[in-house]
Structure 1
Amino acid sequence: MRFWIFTLLLLTVPFVRAQDPIRERLERSPRHQEWVAITYDGRTVHTFVVYPERDTPATAVVLIHENRGLSDWVRSVADRLAEAGYLALAPDLLSGMAPGGGRTADFPGEDAAREAIYRLPLEQVMADLDAVVDYARNLPAANGKVAVAGFCWGGAQAFRFATHRPDLAAAFVFYGTGPDDPEAVARIQCPVYGFYGGNDARVNATIPRTDSLMRAAGKTFVYEIYEGAGHAFMRRGETADTTDANRRARDTAWQRWLRLLQTL
């Protein structure tokens, strides 16, 4: 009987690990990771920070999570950016919004977190991001340049933040919608780069309007649409059961993102 139990454990442990490669990557990362509590006006924004291993100050990238809150996947994106030489910060914009004043991890499930996301005051979201950008800019390991990137709901917030914050180095919008207000677009001072899946009609239907507004205002908006990829291809492209189109889009988008970051 003991032999069978031992055999079962040997078979089960690798399987469990294979089920969570994202968490495993985070745990095995050699880079310095830390949680910081960024405070302003009596509010606290819990933020995951990953430092690159380099001997010179780095450009900072603030990551805005999907509508499910700050997930292990977004934290793994931060780690990959740090691996590429960037100082990455991923704020939990659901800080203080979960039961008992908790954050994303304290919601009973993704549905509850998603419902809470859409109840967030947009002014609070912008203020949270302001505080994180200020924190990033003042870190001794930072070179003063700060870019923002967002995914899905976070992509739309990245675009909105570009209309709010004039000193960003760039905004990277992953399958997020753009602002529909010409006056807001006119306030954008940084280049905006879009990444979209070909099979994402809901979001893609907004691109012509966004492109038109950005052109009329003389702003930089350069985007790519990846044929056959669906919404959230950056995350879905890493799963074992993903499609070839999502995997190709994810890999191509990563390469483009890193090339663009090098130009900042």
Structure 2
Amino acid sequence: MHNLTRPDGTEPEDLLLSRRAVTSMFFAGYAVTALSAEAAPIVTPADGLTGEEVHISNGTPTGLPAFVARPTGKSRHATIVVVNEIFGIHDYIKDICRRLARLGYAAVAPDFFYRSGVNLPALSDMAEIRAIVAQAGEAQVDGDLRAATAWIAAQRFSKPKAIGVTGFCWGGLVTWRAAMTNPDVRAGVAWYGQLKTVIPRAGELKAPVLGLYGGKDKGIPAEDVRAMGAALDATGKTGSSIHLYPGAEHGFHADYRPSYDAAAAADGWARMLAFFKSNGVA
């Protein structure tokens, strides 16, 4: 629900948001293929927040779609880019944005898979999902993220020098790369992102990254986590670090999935906020 009430009256853009809400660009609900029947996902109230769906100029005819949540008003805020899992933009990712907005951040979740024209969270076939995700190559995704941070820096709601990135699963890997290649990024927090391709690139980090990983993650071996920690040490990237939750599985923050671990998720969230604050994303 969008909050369309301002102390000084309704603005024209508020009415535009209400029309957008009727024809949302994004899936309503949780990713079908990963949703647990027993899940009780966190639902963050939207009162006091402004939510909108935008298109960000990225050199394509339609632009990059993105979901934005921020505190209502005219103040400037540190901004976090929220990078989704392989399931695209669905209610979990939108709620992450609202959680950050309630803490005083602006949050922007770009739809990196929009070129497929497929409503990705609605798919139930993992093979089909993976095929679509594979079409989003590294250069394309990193370029879209640079377009997103450039757009953020130009917005009246943002502090241009206080932009962070956090990403989950697929988005965790994107976060590591963003800290290597995107000059707008002040800090990143990667939740269980693949490491094999970025371990040899640890020395390229331009911004610090906190990696949050599960010890029972079947897709990211503990050896990779240890290797990334060693690579950070070897290249002198002392501002970056890895934290491992021994009993947690892959996707331990995703409160709509069977792998959700409430204790690890809460601790990781607290570490993320502290990391952003200590690195100027506040």
Structure label with greater radius of gyration: 1
| Alignment TM-score, normalising by the size of structure 2 | 0.75
Structure 1 contact 63–88 (Cα < 8 Å) conserved? yes
Identical-pair percentage: 25
Instruction: Determine helix, strand or coil for the equivalent of 1:113.
Output: helix
1:125 aligns with 2:141: yes
1:52, CA displacement in angstroms?
2.1
Show the counterpart of 1:262.
Answer: 277
Cα separation, 2, equivalents of 1:46 and 1:20: 28
Give the aligned residue type for 1:98: G
Cα separation, 2, equivalents of 1:42 and 1:242: 37
1:152, CA displacement in angstroms?
0.5
Cα separation, 2, equivalents of 1:36 and 1:200: 35
Deviates more, 1:120-129 or 1:181-190: 181-190
Considering Cα pairs closer than 8 Å and 6+ residues apart, tell me whether 1 or 2 has the greater RCO.
2
- RMSD, aligned α-carbons: 2.6
Cα separation, 2, equivalents of 1:38 and 1:164: 19
1:116, CA displacement in angstroms?
0.5
Structure 1 contact 180–209 (Cα < 8 Å) conserved? no
Show the counterpart of 1:113.
Answer: 129
Structure 1 contact 51–88 (Cα < 8 Å) conserved? yes
Cα deviation code 1:144-168 (max 9, x no counterpart): 1111111011101111121211331
1:224/1:182 Cα in 2 relative to 1: closer, same or farther (>3 Å)? closer
1:109/1:83 Cα in 2 relative to 1: closer, same or farther (>3 Å)? same
Structure 2 contact 251–259 (Cα < 8 Å) conserved? no
Structure 1 contact 167–189 (Cα < 8 Å) conserved? no
| Aligned counterpart for 1:214 among listed residues 232, 235, 238 | 232
Cα deviation code 1:68-124 (max 9, x no counterpart): 11221011101100011111000111112125xxx535x644633332012212111
| Aligned counterpart for 1:249 among listed residues 244, 248, 264 | 264
Cα deviation code 1:206-249 (max 9, x no counterpart): 112212222222213212112311110100xx349666xx1110
Show the counterpart of 2:151.
Answer: 135
Structure 1 contact 167–190 (Cα < 8 Å) conserved? no
1:78 aligns with 2:97: yes
Give the aligned residue type for 2:110: P
Give the aligned residue type for 1:251: A
Instruction: Determine helix, strand or coil for the equivalent of 1:218.
Output: coil
How many equivalent residue pairs? 237
Q: Gapped runs of 5+ residues in structure 2?
A: 1-36
Whichever structure has more helix as a proportion of its residues is 1
Cα separation, 2, equivalents of 1:225 and 1:20: 24
Cα separation, 1, equivalents of 2:40 and 2:51: 17
| Aligned counterpart for 1:29 among listed residues 37, 46, 49 | 46
Show the counterpart of 2:168.
Answer: 151
Cα separation, 2, equivalents of 1:209 and 1:156: 15
Q: Gapped runs of 5+ residues in structure 1?
A: 1-17
Give the aligned residue type for 1:231: H
Instruction: Determine helix, strand or coil for the equivalent of 1:25.
Output: coil
| Alignment TM-score, normalising by the size of structure 1 | 0.80
1:252/1:177 Cα in 2 relative to 1: closer, same or farther (>3 Å)? same
Cα separation, 2, equivalents of 1:92 and 1:240: 21
Deviates more, 1:74-83 or 1:218-227: 218-227
